Amino acid sequence: MYNQTVMDHFENPRNVGEIPDASGVGEVGNITCGDILRVYIKVNEGKLEDVKYMTFGCGAAVASGSMMTELAKGKTIDEAMEITNNSVAEALNGLPPQKKHCSNLAADALHKAIEDWQKKSADKE
């Protein structure tokens, strides 16, 4: 059902965990399947210095979160906002059609974490 890239990110997920002093946190869930993904970002000089995630979900959700962190880490805020649900799925070399919604969680949670950081930054000004 899953290709080698998806299986690698599922069996060996990258960047799992929390960032205690995160610059921003974003969480999304899918009511239909029950998957939940939370993303923590650490922003330094306009770049994502660190990105971590935690998920409650299927193998595709775990793999999508892992791949999203790999795509986002080190990127500028603008570059990270360009990461889409499709780019996560493409980087995983595709997901089965019934699991495509799992990649939607990763990019959406990343964007929410960035929006959280932007709001916190604006509140400080």
- Identify which of 61, 81, 75 has the alpha carbon closest to the alpha carbon of residue 2: 61
Strand residue runs (E) in 1-125: 24-29, 36-44, 47-56
Please indicate whether residue 58 is annotated as part of the active site.
no
Please indicate whether residue 102 is annotated as part of the active site.
yes
Please tell me which residue in 7, 25, 33, 77 is annotated as part of the active site: 33
Edge-to-edge order in the sheet of strand 36-44: 24-29, 36-44, 47-56
- Identify which of 89, 26, 16 has the alpha carbon closest to the alpha carbon of residue 53: 16
Q: Which two tokens stand for residue 110?
A: 């990343």
Please tell me which residue in 19, 41, 63, 102 is annotated as part of the active site: 102
Q: Which two tokens stand for residue 52?
A: 């971590």
Which residue numbers are catalytic?
A: 33, 102
